Amino acid sequence: MTKMVLVWLETASFLSWVVKDFSWVLLIPETAWVGLVCALIFESWDIQNHWKVADRYDLAGRVVLLLWILGNGTWMTSELLHENPSKNITFPWFQGALLGPRTYVDRELKVLAGSFWALGLLLGLAAQMLGRRQGERALRSRLNADLWVIFWVLKDFFWLLALPWNALACSVVIFYCLIDLRPSSEPKVLTAALISWLCGNTVWLVGELFLADASVLPRVLTCVCLACSFCLGIKNFFEEQDDPEARSILPKSMGTVNHGKL
């Protein structure tokens, strides 16, 4: 299993996530679910490839990402199937919730999404606390680089609960984590891709929770940011090919594989 195979897997997962978000914000169910399924496959495949060679904190970070995408995909499915967007959000390819409003089913799916995130938060926080207790500088630095994932899951949790200020505060913390807590060896293009993804997600959050989807403009701006993130993700992949020592896409304790025993 070569380093570039892992980089390819992680890049494919990242790009699938971006496609899912791009399709979700534009209310295109078909490509949204294709992106979701691809992201789940690539994340699961990535975990399987590292199961016997990665340390426990690395594996915990990967499982947190899998739980995050499971919750996010469940929430997306709930909205596309059972929620009609604001009447100001109109696209010729989306005529309304695919199965029509069903409050009970919609609520149950959102509870399921929240459950996935709760498990992810518990696992992520446990890994952070136990890892920091070891006092190893390299491990602490790696955990700092992964901290943004926990706050992004928390942001989605607040978004699901319609708590706009809490969600926006998490976006600010995520931005700080991406700018200040990542190692200097991290590729600049990778960091730019993640920041662009965050900016698009935050614009979408503001448009939906603060502006009540009064206009399609925030969604259009979100798509622009996501398109930039997609292109930067591809650029980072090709730069990885030229630099085999560079870290891999998605900083979930990835990129450094410990070949010792768990």
pLDDT, tens only, 14-50: 999 999 999 999 999 999 999 999 999 999 998 888 7
Provide the pLDDT for residue 256.
Answer: 39
Weakest-pLDDT range from 140-149, 163-172, 247-256: 247-256
| Burial class of 2 by CB neighbour count within 10 A (0 to 12, 13 to 18, 19+) | exposed
Provide the pLDDT for residue 261.
Answer: 32
Name the most confidently modeled range: 88-92, 158-162, 246-250: 158-162
Q: What is the pLDDT of the chain when averaged over all its residues?
A: 87
* Local structure of 94: helix, strand or coil: strand
Report the largest interatomic distance among the alpha carbons of the chain, rounded to a whole angstrom: 56
253 has a pLDDT exceeding 50: no
Provide the pLDDT for residue 255.
Answer: 40
DSSP structural state of residue 91:
B
Q: Could you report the per-residue pLDDT of 42-100, keeping only the tens digit for each?
A: 999 988 887 866 778 888 889 999 999 999 999 999 999 999 888 889 888 888 888 88
260 has a pLDDT exceeding 50: no
Give the residue-averaged pLDDT of 150-177. 96
Domain boundaries, the chain: 3-84+99-242
Whether pTM > 0.85 for this model: the answer is: yes
Residue 95 token pair: 């005529």
